Every structure is written in structure tokens, then in C-alpha cells.
């Protein structure tokens, strides 16, 4: 018996790195063991910024291939593409009519765009599309349409879940009926702490990532580029201050972890050695997934089939739910 519904949206953002894997993908796959998971590709959210047709399509397939390659089982997880669920759009409008405009004015992403304009002496809304403004309402629809109990997200999305809760409560309050399930955020604190090659948070914008699906050669090159201090092999080192160890510890077995951290503390461990060990671990973890990924990326027809099957399952939930909501608000 599952403990409830866990739902999250994945905004396509290019080829994934091990920070994405540790921070989001792996915990989400774990969560799917105990909850009925609904994971979807948020392509309509991506449309707020991605305006190139081929790019949007490719980004969508990349997400699908990534998750399948890394072990998502589409028989167990309902895995779909947001735009295949028309009920999401209908609910977005309904929710918008219960969303105070001021609440959206204060949403971080929109507010940051406005502040940036003002700082540059521009008109406050210059270059900002209404989709970006309504982004939180669309996200609330994603969540509320499926009576979601838990939403695993990074800290940056916390406010969006709070907005979702506010909207759900406003509707339930107005109709004096528990029409919508008020969801809870499950925040992954550790998303922030996975360092990249230079020790800052691993992020594409810093160009400090270790990609998952690049060639072994490229991954090796990246690992060798991890910044270390100039201590010699014989010098004792603190493992918790080393960038290589900070990544290594997420992949090593407990026994190896013990042996290696002793090696750091006692001296005698060269950075080149631990880098090699990390590279080997990453190969062990991802070599097979890499093959699957490229196989999927060569077979969009297959990916389409999987996404369609996911959408069929999702709509078994969303269709009766939208009917229920329509009835409750007097639109039938
Ligand atoms: N906005 C989320 C992000 O940028 C993606 C997303 C869209 C989402 N809809 C969602 C996450 C619903 C959780 C639930 O990462």
C-alpha cells in the first residue's frame, strides 16, 4: 500500500549532471518506492523561456531519456508530459480566478525580473510575458489536479508550493467543501551542497559540472580538473575540506569511504589517486545508463510511446477530477 501521492514537475534544462542526479533524480526514484509517484516533464513551463520549436522538443526528449536511463520504471511511476494533459490548462484558468494578483506580483521569479528592469531604469514589465507571471498558477494546477499529498522540490520552489496551498484553501473555503487536497512540500536540502569542479555549487551556469552522459573520456577530463590544494601526497589532509572527496563520498561504499578518509587524515593519499577512484566509481554507476540514454535519444518513437502511455494513466485521474471541480463551481 502506498502512502499517498507524490508529484513533481521536471523543467527541461539540458543535459543532466551528477548534481541533478544526487539532488533530484535519485531521491525522486527513492520516493517512488513508498508513494504513488507522478513525475512529468513541464514543457508548458519551459515555454515561458524556450521559444525555439526544435529546442523545446529536444529538451523534452532529453528529460524522458534521462529518467528512463537512470532507472525510472514507467510501469510504476506515472511518467508523462504536461502538455498531454489538457485538464491542466482548464484548471489553470479556474485557479487564476482565485489567485490574488498581488500574490503573483510577489512570486520570486516574476519579482526578480521586475526588480532587474527597475534597476536598469526600464519599464517594470519590459520583456516579461504573462506566462511567466502566471507560472505559479500553472504549477498549482499541475499539483492540485492529481490530489497530490507531497511535492518533492528544491528550496527555490518552496514559495510556489505555498502559493498552491493558498489557492487550494481559498477555493475550498469559498465553496465550503474540500474540493482540493492541500499539498505539502518535501524540500531537498542537500540540493544546495553538491559542489562542482571549483567547489561552488554544481551548476551549468558556472561551467563546473560533471555531466552524466558524456563520453568516459570527457568525464575523466572533468574529474581531473577538480580543484584541489597544493598539498603533497604524504601530507595529512582534511577530507571534509576537499572538493574531490565531497563528490566521492556520495558514490563510495561505506568501507571505501572509511579507508579513504583515513588515508586523507594520515597522509599518503595523492589527489590523483582519489580522482582516479572517483572516475572509476562514476563509470560503474553511469556507464550502462549512458548507453541506454543514447539508445533512447535515437528512438523518439519509443519515447513518445512511453509518454503517451503515461498520459493515458494520468488522465484516468485528471478527467474525473476536473469533472468534480467543474461541478463544484457551477460549470457543467
Ligand atoms: N517550477 C518547477 C521547476 O522549475 C517545475 C514544476 C512545474 C513543478 N510544475 C511543477 C515542480 C509541479 C513541482 C510540482 O523546477
SS (H, E, C) the chain: CCCCEEEEEECCCCCCEHHHHHHHHHHHHHHCCCCEEEEEECHHHHCCCCCCHHHHHHHHHHHHHHHHHCCCCCCCCEEEEHHHCHHHHHHHHHHHCCCCHHHHHCCHHHHHHHHHHHHCCCCCCCCCCHHHHHHHHHHHHHHHCCCCCEEEECHHHHHHHHHHHHHHHHHHHHHCCCCCCCCEEEECHHHHHCECCCCCECCHHHCCCCECCCCHHHHHHHHHCCCCCCCCCCCCCCHHHCHHHHHHCCCCCHHHHHHHHHHHHHCCCCHHHHHHHHHHHHHHHHHHHHHHHHHHHCCHHHHHHHHHHHHHHHHHHHHHHHHHHHHHHCCC
β-partners of residue 184 are 150
Q: How far is the CA of 11 from the centre of ligand 1 (A)?
A: 6
The residue whose C-alpha atom lies closest to atom 8 belonging to ligand 1 is: 9
Considering the chain, tell me which residue range(s) the CATH 1.10.240.10 domain(s) occupy.
Answer: 213-293
Q: Which residues contact 111 (CB under 8 A, 6 or more apart)?
A: 105
Rounded to 5 degrees, φ, ψ at 169 are -70, -35
Ligand 1 centroid from CA 52, angstroms: 21
The stretches in the chain having pLDDT less than 70 are 1, 190-192
Q: How far apart are CA 230 and CA 242, in angstroms?
A: 11
At residue 189, the pLDDT reads: 73
Atom of ligand 1 nearest to the CA of 135: 1
Centre of ligand 1 to C-alpha 172, Å, is: 23
Residue nearest (by alpha carbon) to ligand 1 atom 10: 9
Which ligand 1 atom is at minimum distance from the Cα of 138?
9
Q: If you measure from the C-alpha of residue 41 to the centroid of ligand 1, how many angstroms do you get, rounded to a whole number?
A: 9
Cα(304) to centroid(ligand 1), Å: 21
Packing angle of the helix pair 86-96, 300-329 (nearest 10 deg): 40
Q: Where are the domain boundaries for CATH 3.40.50.620 in the chain?
A: 5-194+299-329
State the distance from the centre of ligand 1 to the C-alpha of 161, rounded, in angstroms. 9
Nearest Cα residue to atom 12 of ligand 1: 9
Q: Please give the CATH superfamily to which domain 5-194+299-329 belongs.
A: HUPs (3.40.50.620)
Nearest C-alpha to atom 7 of ligand 1 is from which residue?
Answer: 9
**Whose C-alpha lies nearest to ligand 1, atom 11?**
9
Give dist(CA 232, CA 195) in Å, integer: 23
CB-defined site of ligand 1, < 6 Å? 7-9, 11, 42, 45, 139, 142-143, 151, 153, 157
Q: Which of 14, 18, 4, 11 is nearest to 39 (CA)?
A: 11
Ligand 1 centre distance from Cα of residue 97 (Å): 21
User: Could you identify the atom of ligand 1 that is nearest to the CA of residue 7?
Assistant: 14
In total, the chain counts a number of residues equal to 332
Superfamily of domain 213-293: Tyrosyl-Transfer RNA Synthetase (1.10.240.10)
Amino acid at each position: 500500500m502506498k502512502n499517498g501521492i507524490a508529484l513533481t514537475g521536471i523543467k527541461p534544462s539540458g543535459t543532466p549532471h551528477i548534481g541533478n542526479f544526487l539532488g533530484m533524480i535519485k531521491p525522486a526514484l527513492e520516493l517512488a518506492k513508498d508513494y504513488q509517484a507522478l513525475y512529468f516533464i513541464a514543457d508548458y513551463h519551459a515555454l515561458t523561456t524556450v521559444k525555439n520549436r526544435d529546442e523545446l522538443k529536444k529538451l523534452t526528449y532529453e528529460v524522458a531519456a534521462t529518467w528512463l536511463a537512470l532507472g525510472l520504471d514507467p510501469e510504476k511511476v506515472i511518467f508523462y508530459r504536461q502538455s498531454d494533459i489538457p485538464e491542466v490548462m482548464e484548471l489553470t484558468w479556474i485557479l487564476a480566478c482565485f489567485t490574488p494578483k498581488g500574490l503573483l506580483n510577489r512570486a520570486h521569479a516574476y519579482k526578480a525580473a521586475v526588480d532587474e528592469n527597475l534597476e536598469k531604469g526600464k519599464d517594470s514589465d519590459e520583456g516579461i510575458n504573462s506566462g511567466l507571471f502566471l507560472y505559479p498558477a500553472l504549477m498549482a494546477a499541475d499539483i492540485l489536479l492529481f490530489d497530490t499529498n507531497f511535492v518533492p522540490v528544491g528550496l527555490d520552489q518552496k514559495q510556489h508550493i505555498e502559493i498552491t496551498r493558498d489557492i487550494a484553501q481559498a477555493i475550498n473555503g469559498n465553496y465550503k467543501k474540500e474540493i482540493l487536497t492541500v499539498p505539502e512540500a518535501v524540500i531537498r536540502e542537500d540540493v544546495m551542497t553538491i559542489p562542482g569542479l571549483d567547489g561552488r555549487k554544481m551548476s551549468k551556469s558556472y561551467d563546473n559540472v560533471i555531466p552524466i552522459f558524456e563520453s568516459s573520456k570527457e568525464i575523466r577530463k572533468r574529474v581531473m580538473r577538480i580543484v584541489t590544494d597544493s598539498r603533497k601526497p604524504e601530507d595529512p589532509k582534511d577530507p571534509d575540506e576537499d572538493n574531490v572527496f565531497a563528490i566521492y563520498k556520495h558514490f563510495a561504499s561505506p568501507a571505501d569511504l572509511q579507508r579513504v578518509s583515513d588515508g586523507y587524515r594520515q597522509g599518503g593519499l595523492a589527489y590523483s589517486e582519489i580522482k582516479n577512484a572517483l572516475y572509476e566509481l562514476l563509470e560503474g554507476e553511469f556507464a550502462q545508463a549512458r548507453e541506454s540514454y543514447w539508445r533512447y535519444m535515437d528512438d523518439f518513437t519509443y519515447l513518445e510511446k512511453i509518454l503517451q502511455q503515461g498520459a493515458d494513466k494520468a488522465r484516468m485521474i485528471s478527467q474525473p477530477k476536473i469533472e468534480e471541480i467543474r461541478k463544484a463551481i457551477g460549470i457543467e
